[in-house]
């Protein structure tokens, strides 16, 4: 059994700036010698030509119809917020840290906008401050995708992609932690390690399915010794163990190989299974054909043998490789979450994909036909990959699960780093998980979901601050007297002066958060909001704000943005402006909620219609120097603001106390 230790004190300033991953016989995982490669099942046997006929036809159609592809690509080259899908793509020749993961067929794991070496003289205090206090993260080293979350015998289980050797991506193993309340966590020994030929290059993303008899099956992607992506089965060794400490890999893995017409590195991340009207289980797996993102469909009765269906669940040209696909129902009438197998009247289905090309999570609402196993979007203009995003900031590879204990759908997301890889090696860790969010259908708009932090996070609220009806005239800045502003839960509402608003005939009709000058760019009706992680002289600040644009037709459009451009004096960190438009219905105040936890700010607008996660790395606005301000940088309208804020206690994250059993 693994032995755990608390993270020791580090001399971060004088640590080595770069430590390559170990590649010695002592540290490298080797395949099971008892598992002969001769036991592998040939791909042609597992995936018959008959079942793959439609995929072949689909490939041929795309190849011989370049005009169709070109028209579609032109149509979807920008999303609904005006952002270029290829904006985040970087050429391999660019200067920066080495690429991580791409050669093995997964999305880029390095933040490659940073320079090759840190240009800022980080200190121990600065880097130590960045570690969060109530978000989940391991004690040290690299973490990425959340995997197979589930609730079992009174415990929430979170599995996650983890590198036990370093703070950079590699040697991907399944970390494991448990919690009673989703906030305070106990670290357990690794659930699965890359120790078989079919996952020797990584135990990658997977999903849990709880069967009607209570059994748990875990499907996950393994990267083989030949760098082929295959799907594998695992299950608990002892279902009566509430900790689920031991996992068994099915002896005859893999259970699925890439079918003909699908690339060996384009076949990953199986979903939670759902049961259809024929009594068979379905799963879907992300892939691509040329630049068309697709979701393959499989049926099974035993989770060992699988039938590849002739049809795709869905496909969207121009969106590239789909990974970490998620598919689940939401009630259009109720407020509870739904088990993944629920369908029928009053139900819509969310289809979500993480796009390998731009590293964002997109979703769409639609209707699932369980007879033909097809999903159709409600609005084709807001299809997966070209419309709505789950989060407009630093957020990827998200995963939901149905919490049968509290009848809710919960969402996890990986919050990666956006600083320099060398800096991550100095501090000894990289990445955190988001605060779990509930997901429900927005019954008011009917066009989106609502995401909201789980109720349990409010248990960390301590001292509160409240200020009401503060008039913010154009150009005003009001400090909030909060003694410690690095760990906060902030709820704020804003009322725009109605007379001034009606008197404005046109204002920045073409506004776009990401292309704007951020909070420094003044317009008639915005920006206004909150500055967090700011210091007194405002040499560092992270504004989260609303901006109202108004067309000549009198129609207004509200934007919700988070500005990182002045968040740090360091030059080797991301300083983008994030955001998108947010629906605001007649009679609604503008409202936001911010969870501030050191280097992370999670921002929710209008009850969670639009969400932004920011990673910021201040050098001055840290510890007791961190401040909060209200601001209105509009030129033509006054705003009335009301704010309630709570200081947040730290969550408990520690090894499970096996010595006390």
Q: Which two tokens stand for residue 502?
A: 């009606």
Query: Between the CA of residue 164 and those of 14, 137, 231, 450, what are the distances in Å?
Result: 22, 13, 23, 35
| Beta-sheet strands, E only, within 474-539 | 476-480, 487-496, 528-534
Phi, psi angles (nearest 5°) of residue 365: -95, 145
| DSSP-assigned beta bridge partners for residue 162 | 143, 173
Q: Which residues are catalytic?
A: 145
In contact, 77 and 85? CB cutoff 8 Å: yes
Short-list 141, 241, 256, CA closest to 191: 241
418 half-sphere exposure, CB direction, 13 A CA radius: 24
Q: Indicate the Cα dihedral angle 317, 323, 329, 333, nearest 10°.
A: -70
Q: How far apart are CA 61 and CA 263, in angstroms?
A: 17
- 3 state DSSP class of 282: strand
- 3 state DSSP class of 581: strand
**Angle of helix 53-64 relative to helix 66-76, nearest 10 degrees?**
80
- 3 state DSSP class of 167: coil
**347-355 and 374-377 strand pairing:** unpaired
Tell me how many degrees the CA angle 597-598-600 measures, rounded to the nearest 5: 65
Tell me how many degrees the CA angle 444-447-452 measures, rounded to the nearest 5: 70
């Amino acid at each position: 059994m693994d032995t755990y230790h608390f993270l020791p004190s580090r001399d971060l300033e004088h640590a080595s700036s770069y430590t390559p991953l170990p590649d010695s016989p002592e540290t490298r995982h080797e395949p099971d010698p008892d598992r002969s490669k001769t036991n592998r099942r040939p791909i042609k046997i597992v995936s018959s030509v008959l079942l793959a006929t439609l995929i072949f036809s689909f490939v041929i159609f795309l190849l011989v119809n370049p005009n169709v592809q070109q028209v579609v690509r032109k149509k979807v080259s920008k999303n609904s917020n005006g952002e270029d899908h290829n904006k985040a793509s970087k050429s391999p020749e660019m200067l920066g840290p080495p690429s991580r993961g791409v050669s093995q067929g997964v999305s880029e794991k390095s933040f490659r906008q940073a320079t090759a070496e840190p240009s800022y003289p980080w200190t121990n205090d600065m880097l130590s401050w960045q570690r969060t206090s109530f978000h989940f993260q391991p004690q040290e080293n690299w973490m990425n995708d959340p995997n197979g979350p589930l609730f079992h015998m009174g415990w929430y289980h979170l599995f996650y992609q983890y590198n036990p050797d370093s703070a950079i991506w590699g040697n991907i193993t399944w970390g494991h932690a448990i919690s009673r309340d989703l906030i305070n966590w106990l670290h357990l020994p690794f659930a699965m390690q890359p120790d078989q030929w079919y996952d020797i290059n990584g135990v990658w993303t997977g999903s849990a399915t709880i069967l009607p008899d209570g059994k748990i099956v875990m499907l996950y992607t393994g990267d083989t010794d030949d760098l082929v992506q295959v799907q594998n089965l695992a299950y608990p060794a002892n279902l009566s163990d509430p900790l689920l400490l031991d996992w068994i890999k099915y002896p005859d893995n893999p259970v699925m190989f890439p079918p003909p017409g699908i690339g060996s590195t384009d076949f990953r991340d199986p979903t939670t299974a759902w049961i259809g009207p024929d009594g068979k289980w379905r799963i879907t797996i992300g892939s691509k054909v040329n630049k068309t993102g697709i979701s393959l469909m499989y049926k099974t009765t035993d989770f060992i043998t699988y039938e590849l269906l002739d049809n795709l669940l869905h496909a969207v040209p121009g969106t590239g490789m789909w990974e970490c696909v998620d598919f689940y129902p939401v009630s259009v009438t109720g407020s509870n979450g739904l088990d993944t197998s629920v369908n029928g009247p009053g139900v819509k289905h969310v289809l979500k994909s993480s796009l390998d090309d731009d590293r964002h999570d997109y979703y769409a609402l639609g209707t699932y036909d369980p007879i033909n196993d097809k999903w159709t979007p409600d609005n084709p203009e807001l299809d997966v990959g070209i419309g709505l995003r789950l989060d407009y900031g630093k957020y990827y590879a998200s995963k939901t699960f149905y919490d049968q204990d509290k009848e809710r759908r919960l969402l996890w997301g990986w919050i990666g780093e956006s600083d320099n890889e060398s800096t991550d090696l100095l501090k000894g860790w990289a990445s955190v998980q988001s605060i779990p969010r509930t997901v429900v259908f927005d019954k008011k708009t009917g066009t989106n979901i609502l995401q909201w932090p789980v109720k349990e996070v409010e248990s960390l609220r301590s001292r509160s601050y409240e200020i009401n009806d503060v008039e913010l005239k154009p150009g005003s800045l009001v400090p909030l007297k909060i003694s410690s502003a690095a760990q906060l839960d902030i709820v704020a509402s804003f009322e725009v002066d109605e007379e001034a608003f009606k008197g404005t005939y046109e204002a920045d009709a073409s506004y776009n958060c990401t292309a704007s000058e951020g909070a420094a760019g003044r317009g008639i009706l915005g920006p206004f909001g909150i500055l967090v992680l700011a210091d007194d002289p405002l040499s560092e600040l992270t504004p989260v704000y609303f901006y109202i644009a108004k067309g000549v037709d009198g129609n207004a459009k509200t934007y919700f943005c988070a500005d990182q451009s002045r968040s740090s004096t360091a030059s080797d960190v991301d300083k983008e402006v994030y955001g998108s438009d947010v629906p605001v219905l007649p009679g609604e105040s503008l409202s936001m909620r911010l969870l501030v936890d050191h280097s992370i700010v999670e921002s929710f607008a209008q009850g969670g219609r639009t969400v932004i996660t920011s990673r910021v790395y201040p050098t001055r606005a840290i510890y007791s120097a961190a401040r909060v301000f209200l601001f209105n940088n509009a030129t033509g309208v006054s705003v009335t603001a009301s704010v309630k804020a709570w200081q947040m206690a730290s969550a408990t994250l520690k090894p499970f106390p096996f010595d006390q059993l």
